[in-house]
Structure 1
Amino acid sequence: MSEGLRERKKRQTRQRISEAALGLFVARGFDRVTIAEVAAAAEVSVNTLYNYFEAKEDLVLPPDEASPQRLADIVRARQPGESAARAVLGRLRDELRRHDRKVGLTAGFGPVFAMMRAAPTLTARLEDLGRQMTDALTAVLAEETGAAPGDRTPCVIAGQIGWFHSLVYGEIGRRIEAGEQPAAIAEALLELLDVVEETLSERALGYAIREG
């Protein structure tokens, strides 16, 4: 289905606001830029901006891209015969090979990452996002495996998946700050994921395999 005129205009406005915000945040720092200044730079009203982004932090971490359901959604979409952990490992490998923006490997992301690291509200949101991802994944694993209320296995498995997911992002950030190029970062992280897979127990790698 082709994109209609109204949808295209909304997408273009959203993109214009996002680009204006990131430009200002990188140049001056997240905390030093007001919503009114972003709106003016994007040539929209403050009310219009809030129609697209409910909070200032959403301009950097939009919910549709930085979703608390990310890990849960990956696991829900896994293929028959695939476990929860292997589904997430596979998705991360795919995103690394494609230099996907979801893992921060797009050109020019270095200054954006540095800006995010310098903003306490953004780092706090990222930490909270990680916890929400793990909690959502725990709920999915418990439901799909029929775990008893006192069974902590879904929580432990979700915690391990959340750990290596966060490990990947942390290592990408460290390498971006060191000035490494996306291709080199992707190669190094693919090797890291191999180590992660070799290190995880068979119980973790084989948990919640989707039936065919």
Structure 2
Amino acid sequence: MATNTGFDLGPDRDLDALPLRERKKIRTGIRIWRTAIGLFAAKDFDQVSVAEIAAAADVSKMTVFNYFPTKEDLVMAPMEQHLGEPARVVRERAPGTSAVAALRDHYLAALAAFDPATGLNDDQVVLDVVRLVHRTPALAMRAAAGFGQQAQAQLTAELLAQDPAHDELTAQVAGAQLLATRLTLTTGNQLRMLAGERAADALPDALDRARRAFEMVERGLGDYCAATP
């Protein structure tokens, strides 16, 4: 993960189970992030200063930087918590499960849960973030570097570690194919949401497209890197 905000912005985060100090920290971070996204969406990323965000969130500028070391982190940090997800899915898959099957099943489950990481989510804040990344060159470049280079490097390393033959080229090609598949599907879902489709309406087709896409990869990779029972 390129940036650690120290909190999870996901909707399922159970704050009540945490100590008071930790709850306050997380809620402050969420308030800063949501304030920043609202301002960026209203005025554009380059037209909003960190000082303006701090004032709107009723915190100091230093507090903003304590949570988000750079202005780009205010948009990208929650997304980048998913950078290591493909490698983790491969690492934690059940015995006998191929890397392709593990990543396919994980992606299908995430789609069904309308996980923003799949692009299939029509929550307004999520759409604001996606729109910002698509229209802001600095954010688009960072997304490409993170979800392309960094995520692929982590996944390739995990595949190589799991491969009994320790074939570096195969691990590199497999990692590239698997992440390209996820990225293609996610980008398509994002564009549908930005065009105004409802996530619930798009779900059946998104699931079908995901199954077809991973099937194409599976034909080439087969049960490569299947964990032994």
Deviation, 1:42, is 0.8
Task: Give the 4+ runs in structure 1 shifted more than 6 A.
Answer: none
TM-aligned CA deviation for residue 111 of structure 1:
3.3
1:54 Cα deviation from its structure 2 partner: 1.5
SS of equivalent to 1:86: helix
The SS at the match of 2:86 is helix
Displacement after TM superposition at 1:145 (Å):
1.1
Name which of 185, 200, 213 aligns with 1:168.
185
Question: 1:96 touches 1:186 (CA, 8 Å); kept in 2?
Answer: yes
| Alignment-derived partner of residue 34 in structure 1 | 49
The residue matched to 1:208 in structure 2 has which SS?
coil
| Residue 112 of structure 1 pairs with residue 129 of structure 2 | yes
Of 49, 66, 74, the residue aligned with 2:64 is 49
2:41 is the alignment partner of 1:23: no
> Paired residue for 1:61?
76
Could you tell me which residue of structure 2 aligns to residue 12 of structure 1?
27
Residue 144 (str. 1) matches residue 159 (str. 2):
no
Percentage of identical aligned residues: 33
Q: Note the residue ranges of structure 1 that are not aligned, 5 or more in a row.
A: none
Cα shift readout 1:44-73 (whole Å, capped 9, x = no counterpart): 111111111122122112157544312111
Partner residue, 1:97 = 112
Q: CA RMSD in A?
A: 1.9
Quickly say closer, same or farther: Cα 1:146–1:36, change in 2 above 3 A: farther
Q: TM-score, normalising length from structure 2?
A: 0.85
1:160-191 per-residue CA deviation (whole Å, 9 max, x = no partner) reads: 10110111111012212221111123222111
CA distance in 2, matches of 1:186, 1:65: 24
1:188 pairs with one of 200, 205, 209: 205
Q: Is 1:131 matched with 2:149? A: yes
Q: Is the 8 A contact 2:122 2:198 kept in 1?
A: no
Once residues 133 and 82 of structure 2 are traced to their aligned partners in structure 1, the CA distance between those partners, rounded to angstroms, is: 17
Normalising by the residue count of structure 1, what TM-score does the alignment of the two structures yield?
Answer: 0.92
1:70 maps onto 2:85 in alignment: yes
What amino acid is aligned across from residue 9 of structure 1 in structure 2?
K
For structure 2, which runs of at least 5 residues remain unmatched after alignment? 1-15
Alpha-carbon offset, residue 110 of structure 1: 2.8
Amino acid at match of 1:114: R
Tell me the matched-pair count.
211
